[in-house]
Structure 1
Amino acid sequence: MPHFDQRQAHIQAIIAAALQTADPHTAVRHHLHKQGNQITVGSHPFDLANGRLIILSIGKAAVPMALAAVDVVGEAAVSGGGILAKHLPQNTPLPLPAYEGNHPVPGEKSIAATQKLLQTVQNLTENDLVLCLISGGASALFTQPLLPLPIWQELTQALLASGCTIQELNTVRRQFDAVKAGGLARLAAPAQVISLILSDVVGNDLASIGSGPTVASSETLADAKAVLQRYGVSMPDFGHVRTTTQPPTNILDNIIIGSIQQSAQAAAAQAEKLGFHARLLTTKLEGEAREVGQFAAALAKDAPPQSATLLGGETTVTLRGGGVGGRNLETALAAAIGLAGWPNRAIIGFATDGDDGTSGVAGATVTGQTVSDKQDALAYLNNNDSYTFFARRDGGGNGRTLIQTGPTGTNVNDLIIILNYT
């Protein structure tokens, strides 16, 4: 029978299981194979003797995905390409030219790196293959804005602060960026294009993951306008929008190789091994982070004895203050306020990329003892300063709440884990 004083070990084991399942290196190797001169991507064969192979790896998991792909096919088989990530390792030799971009707001580094990658898909033929490895963060990292950069940045920042979902944000991005909504595939034509995708979008909508660089979209300017109006965001000059074009005909396939569904199921299985009765409620959780935190606290109070309740998805935060935090920390702090005084329960909010908002940590673990002064905690919550609350508490010798993993090399949304030890 699990005991409350073992919760840190339980939490570490459950998180490790979720991350192992979302490991980009393993996921790529499951979907990419080579025998002789032939590689197979998903179910699609390609003869290296007849054409060139270009590999573009873009997103927070770009480095491990690229390493896995080149490990499978061999460096000699790759004619070109590049890696575009938020962070690059300091002492790891990389098999392709590698660039760092800006995230979550695109900047000069992202634009310059995007140009470098696009140069590698010029002058290709219909016999060539562009293998795209896409993961979360690609929308900001890989960008060719049709608006002046300062306006594009201001628009992105306003939407990020508005509380809109990632799907809504990317609806706007697709109208103002040449490489989104199938734009990369168009620029690579007539070469064949196939993507292996690590999903960071609730519901795995292909057009929303990285804003769909190899996925055509039927959305129009009216859809983007509707999002901006819904959240009261000023509209830019609509003379600079992506013109509607025919869907690219050179896209072979877009294959999801990892998602929150798989990670949440692995986490639930690990909880069962630890002696909990696990139940996965949803992998499509959305909503305002503080409201989700309140909901998690209510679930914890009514949870069956010796149970682990899991929810996967991605919340949003409407910025009201100027503090430091992230959606998982905000969820956890709201949960801690709601759970105050309730014994033998723990709630964990965790970002699978290890980097929650502006905090530099992955999330937090809270119990009924985390908050002793609800008004004080609420003041931090209202200032969007959840990280400072938890850091202050940890620094005071009151136990460990912050979850620090560093960049995990993957990104498949967030997990909320509710453990009841009664």
Structure 2
Amino acid sequence: MTDTAAILREHCLALFQAGIAAADPCAAVEQCLVVDDDQLKIRLEPHSSQYRCANWQKIHIIAFGKAACAMAGAARRTIPPHQLAEPGLVVTTYENVEAVEGFEVLAAGHPLPDRNGLNAAQRIVERIRTIPAGDLVLVLISGGGSALLPYPAEGVGLAGKIAATQLLLACGADINQVNCVRKHLSLLKGGGLARQAAPADLHALILSDVLGDDLSSIASGPTVADATSYADAIAVFKGKQVWDKVPATVKDHLEKGVAGLRPETLKPGDALLNSVSHTLVGSNAISVSATVQACRQHDYHTLIYSHNLSGEAREAAEQWVIAANILLTKGLTQATAMIAGGETTVTLTGTGKGGRNQEMALAFALAAERHGLPCRWTFLSGGTDGRDGPTDAAGGIVDSDTLNSMRRAGIDPLAALNDNDSYTALYAANALVNTGATGTNVADLQILLLYPFSE
């Protein structure tokens, strides 16, 4: 590896870490909780001077999601002890479990819900139903929260809800379609958690893993109003032509909902929402902004390639190479960084191992070779949670030497891509990004560094 290649790799990894740090759940919570005269005030936006405050007698903390442990610990350290109601409740994924002082920590399944998640959801409902008016329920929400708290509506059953979720994932339903159905099969989603907490006040600190930060989509919107209907949920299944495969319990529940025999999700304008508020404490857009700022500190001319990178990973990679080539033909006079945030997809046709970020990195290297990217470059694609697909890597980092390294190791990179075996190929070239579980999740970041000078 040349000195330039080594420097670009080092910069790429540092920039990625800057993006992850901006979504640090502890810092995100701490900056939004302020103590004034021994009473808690909650910022309505990060760094804002607008607060929500009241003379709450007790504050009850409920946290769920991949970052729940970190968020709960940060909240407990900040809130005045005399206001804290302990123990709080934390629900997180099995790999993110850690002890948190003052909390009962429960582990549950993700991405598919399991019995432990149902038990945890029941515990939360039992707790918040007893909280009186004059107290605050502080809800800390992060990525993965939807699967972690399955509380099927009466008659649906956990097996029916899991089967419906699997059916939606298998037929290519997008996240908004999946969430529409989930909300109408659940006691807690679609504003259901806010209903259970009444008459207490409720405020949610939300770490977004959803592009665009639609609060009704994050964890299927347990504390916000829902504009969709039972009819919309049925339309999702029928539109994907799988209505005939839907479990009988789910069909029955949705049809009774359309007939007005089941309560709808919490709707905009409901008076209950007067006691509910939210703060978006972290998101992909915030991490992209932090990455851009770090690029400028490293003296890169910086461009945002996309705030919403989506579609097939290999196709997105090729389009990016084409865009970089167009930029280079216009003439670059300084080192340049192109930054994106988003969440691509992979259609599995092979039997290999990898994830969307690893596939995108491998596809980028192949596209750069095919189109001829005429300068030194380094490209990184990584998941901010540190886990890309069913692997121990966050993603991949490639440059103009990566494919040759694979070939010297006896690997055909194109064959690996076609077999969805990006992990094996990148591992052989020392091109995996390994951060370990980061304790946060705000989708993916991509960084392309272009060095248009001779060495």
TM-score, scaled to structure 2:
0.84
Deviates further, 215-224 or 411-420: 215-224
Q: 1:213 to 1:93 in 2, by over 3 A?
A: closer
Report the alpha carbon displacement of residue 264 of structure 1 after superposing the two structures with TM. Answer: 0.7
8 Å contact 1:161–1:319 — kept in the other structure? Answer: no
8 Å contact 1:258–1:412 — kept in the other structure? Answer: yes
Q: Distance in 2 between matches of 1:219 and 1:61?
A: 28
- 2:259 corresponds in structure 1 to none
- 1:319 corresponds in structure 2 to 348
Report the alpha carbon displacement of residue 76 of structure 1 after superposing the two structures with TM. Answer: 4.3
- Which of 201, 209, 212 is the aligned partner of 1:192? 201
Count residues with an aligned counterpart: 413
Which residue identity does 1:326 align to in structure 2?
Answer: G
Q: Secondary structure at the match of 1:104?
A: coil
Larger Cα-atom Rg: 2
- Which of 276, 292, 295 is the aligned partner of 1:252? 276
Q: Secondary structure at the match of 1:323?
A: coil
- Which of 390, 408, 413 is the aligned partner of 1:377? 413
Which residue identity does 1:52 align to in structure 2?
Answer: K
Q: Secondary structure at the match of 1:120?
A: helix
Q: Residues 9-408 of structure 1 correspond to what in structure 2 (within 5 A)?
A: 9-42=10-43, 43-48=51-56, 51-80=57-86, 81-87=88-94, 92-146=99-153, 147-233=156-242, 234-237=245-248, 238-241=251-254, 243-247=263-267, 249-250=272-273, 251-304=275-328, 305=332, 306-340=335-369, 342=373, 343-371=375-403, 376-391=412-427, 393=428, 398=429, 400-408=430-438
Q: Note the alpha carbon deviations across 1:153-187, whole angstroms, 9 max, x for none.
A: 23323433444433332222212222100011111
8 Å contact 2:192–2:266 — kept in the other structure? Answer: no
Which residue identity does 1:215 align to in structure 2?
Answer: V
Q: Secondary structure at the match of 1:389?
A: helix
Q: Note the alpha carbon deviations across 1:65-89, whole angstroms, 9 max, x for none.
A: 1111111114442214311111466
Which residue identity does 1:32 align to in structure 2?
Answer: L
Which residue identity does 2:59 align to in structure 1?
Answer: L
Report the alpha carbon displacement of residue 92 of structure 1 after superposing the two structures with TM. Answer: 4.5
8 Å contact 2:69–2:100 — kept in the other structure? Answer: no
Deviates further, 128-137 or 271-280: 271-280
Which residue identity does 2:54 align to in structure 1?
Answer: F
User: Is there any run of 5+ residues in structure 1 with no aligned partner, and where?
Assistant: none
Q: Secondary structure at the match of 2:403?
A: coil
User: Is there any run of 5+ residues in structure 2 with no aligned partner, and where?
Assistant: 44-50, 255-261
Deviates further, 349-358 or 244-253: 244-253
Q: Note the alpha carbon deviations across 1:177-234, whole angstroms, 9 max, x for none.
A: 2210001111111111110101110100000001101011010133233433444544
Report the alpha carbon displacement of residue 345 of structure 1 after superposing the two structures with TM. Answer: 1.5
Deviates further, 224-233 or 360-369: 224-233
Q: Note the alpha carbon deviations across 1:242-298, whole angstroms, 9 max, x for none.
A: 631553514421211111111111111111222211111332222222221222222
Which residue identity does 2:417 align to in structure 1?
Answer: L
Which residue identity does 2:31 align to in structure 1?
Answer: H
Q: 1:110 to 1:335 in 2, by over 3 A?
A: same
Which residue identity does 1:204 align to in structure 2?
Answer: D
- Which of 404, 412, 416 is the aligned partner of 2:446? 416
Q: Distance in 2 between matches of 1:154 and 1:376?
A: 38
Report the alpha carbon displacement of residue 320 of structure 1 after superposing the two structures with TM. Answer: 3.0
Q: Secondary structure at the match of 2:253?
A: coil
Which residue identity does 1:236 align to in structure 2?
Answer: P
Report the alpha carbon displacement of residue 418 of structure 1 after superposing the two structures with TM. Answer: 1.1
- 2:47 corresponds in structure 1 to none
Q: Secondary structure at the match of 2:150?
A: coil
Q: Distance in 2 between matches of 1:265 and 1:384?
A: 31
Report the alpha carbon displacement of residue 91 of structure 1 after superposing the two structures with TM. Answer: 6.5
Q: Distance in 1 between matches of 2:98 and 2:203?
A: 30
Q: Distance in 2 between matches of 1:382 and 1:163?
A: 20
8 Å contact 1:84–1:113 — kept in the other structure? Answer: yes
8 Å contact 1:296–1:347 — kept in the other structure? Answer: no
**CA RMSD for the aligned pairs?**
2.4
TM-score, scaled to structure 1:
0.90
8 Å contact 1:271–1:278 — kept in the other structure? Answer: yes
Q: Note the alpha carbon deviations across 1:350-397, whole angstroms, 9 max, x for none.
A: 111111121121110122333357x94344334333223322x2xxxx
8 Å contact 1:182–1:214 — kept in the other structure? Answer: yes
Report the alpha carbon displacement of residue 59 of structure 1 after superposing the two structures with TM. Answer: 0.6
Which residue identity does 1:57 align to in structure 2?
Answer: A
Q: 1:230 to 1:365 in 2, by over 3 A?
A: farther
Report the alpha carbon displacement of residue 326 of structure 1 after superposing the two structures with TM. Answer: 1.8
Percent identical among aligned pairs is 37
Deviates further, 123-132 or 159-168: 159-168
Q: 1:333 to 1:78 in 2, by over 3 A?
A: same
Q: Distance in 2 between matches of 1:228 and 1:377?
A: 38
Q: Distance in 1 between matches of 2:76 and 2:276?
A: 20
Report the alpha carbon displacement of residue 339 of structure 1 after superposing the two structures with TM. Answer: 1.4
